Structure 1
Amino acid sequence: MHDRISAPDFDTVWTKIEKQAGELSRSTAWMGSWSGKGLLLGLPAVLGVVLIFVALLSFFLGAPLFGLLCVVVGLALMVPSVMVGLRHHKAASDQHAQEVVTPMIEALAESMSATSSTGQEAKLQASFDPQGGIPLGVLSRSGFIRDPKARQEDFISGTFGDTQFMLSDVKWQSSEVELSDESKARLERKKQREERANNRRLREEHGRHWRYYKDRQQRAGSLLDFVPDSVKNTVQEKYREFEAMTEEAGPSMVMFAADFHKDFSSTTYLLPRKTEPRAIRNFTEDSAAGDGLEPMELEDPGITKRFTGWTSDQVEARYLLSPELMLAISDVADRMGSERIAVSFSGSWMYFAVVLDEDRFSFTLDTDDDGGFTVAKAIYEDLVTFLSLVEHFNLNTRIWSKA
């Protein structure tokens, strides 16, 4: 935590949520158990996975009808049990958001503060919407979000001192990015290469009879043509529902946006060298030039190791990226434990996003069997860390005033 930030000790917050967290922990313990209800839901799912594996093996060995039967039975076993499990998990997540996370944010809003170097105190005011998200227009202006329409949750907004901020969990795996013509052509070339490799493998294995085996492969793929449209539509609808539920529990891209108190005339980006193509946009020299950007030389070794810099105004960018701010960005990156971090300055706002491999702020099973204490404490510490970014980046210090 920043040394000038004051936040309630978690133990004092825990007394307000201990009962609710404990009840939720006990009522969901079966989800992580291979007995009782957990076994009834888990066993069909495991059998379904085994049958899907057998189906893939059957297609490879030239028994497509048996393979198709295994697929149908496997899905019939797996999908209902998984769906029921996910519904229970979502209900627990909703309850957790209302009875555990919301009181923690309320406690922070009541007591969290920061004291500037001049002695001025900044108080936190924040609200929480588990199903909300940063407005599409604000998210788009970050410039590096690959798909601003991606699913969001756990939206926190408010002010810390005089600085307006927004914080949201962007479920980047739900992204539906439209491919460019160049990407489509690249995928088509990849498909052609794979087809040539498959033909070559069949020739090596079956000699002059290879076309017969290729025809068998194609016939196996066409068996779905015999499945009624009503059945296929039902399966597709259930799969979409299943996909949406799994995305909610998937990895996070925590997005933080805050008013920097200056209407920039330029746009500046720090983009990660370790990329996450479905989450964070990156530039080539040609695409950057098309947006009026040019490479930015970063003097700080820690920043250079993590980021590539792009800007439309070298002078303003160097003023924005002061040594103090670059040190703060490096410090926060170390604390987050992720190299997939992006930063931009656009309009009058600073945008900071970190891609994480796990779901953040949301309900997880109590594997420590401590009444939900460890789960709640981890979320609380995350909240304090992200809400401290306003002070950590020194955004309450008036370097500029708006024109």
Structure 2
Amino acid sequence: MKKDLFPIDEVRAKFPALNFQDQDQVFPVYFDGPGGTQMVQACIDRMLEYIETGIANLHGSFSTSVKTDALLAEAREAVGDLLNCAANEVAFGQNMTSLAFQVSHSLRPLLQKGDEVVVTQLDHRANVDPWIHLAKETGAIVKFIPVDKEKLVLDLSHLDNIINNKTKVVAIGLSSNLTGTVSDAKRIFKAAKKVNAITIADAVHAVPHFLIDKQELGSDILFCSAYKFFGPHLGIAAIEKGLFERLEIPKLQPAPNEIPYRLETGTQNHEAIAGLCGAISFIENLGSGKDRRERLRSGMLAIETHEQELMESLESFLLATPEVTLYRASKEVPRTPTFAFRIDGIHSRDATAFFAEKFNLCIADGHFYAATMAEVFPVMETGGWIRIGFAPYNTLEEIEIFKKALKELLILKSRE
């Protein structure tokens, strides 16, 4: 799909929040996609359909229970096509963080004192702290893959020393929720597999922007969150069958112990799972092809192409603004449309408050749980970073509003 053929008006029409005016009759501009996208109409419709036609728990003989069983099977198949994994490897939960801690607890029998766990400085702490906790519980040692402060990528120059025969777990983010950097997961996981380490991928920030292939990555465990790709607040874990069956997961004695149910302790959020199906169908319907995986591939390519145009517009502007310090890898590095920056002499919360109050721009500030990065780059005294992240419903016209807002903010600052 050529970038000028992306059906932006049709896409925007599918997100009801974009048509909702605030109390001043102004439409918000949602630049906070990395914190959670707006919900697509197909997701809302599927949630309401499930609720309005009768809800039930699983494994009953009556119609609404049979419907719920079918819904979960449909959702697992859809996620399997989205991530390229088997449907019975897909489990649902409260959110990515809760699932990660649950899995980390279940990995304890596989580690012992002196083993090593590898995480990174670039990641959201949801893909760091569960594995640090695992290390504390087992007496393992934690190693960090450092970030290159100049290039804003993971420094893999000493990877052979960081990952060695003592390494048992390697956890990395596929894409930074702060800088947008897409890490070289294949290379890292290849090194991990050479020493038979368990490979864990945080794909929360990646799934909304490019097609994931869990098999090609070499990922044993992969996490993502539906609310980051136009769906409900719902966590997803995809775990390789052989490993999944080995995990010792605390459960109620009569509850199913086969995968994937063994990770789904208690009753799941069935209406959210219905919404997930709608969110995936939105991506699928942007594409074309003979099967769902092919249509998802085509749909994600359309999203990437559109977001690339948005990235180029904002990046060139930020780089040309002397008062802005942009924390972003070079164009030679694959990146998602996520921008972290600071403005000289202006507290980040003051800036985002100005953007919100004067221009109704939804822009976040802080460390965004990439807290290790906030130690590597000591930024919290001035409120951390300002972050703009795009979704497929964003437009070049909205970026122009931001450019105007930043220029006005800088003029006000110069008059002080």
Q: TM-score range by the shorter chain?
A: under 0.3
* Structure exhibiting the larger radius of gyration computed from Cα positions: 1
Between Structure 1 and Structure 2, the one with more helix by share is 1
TM-score (norm 2): 0.25
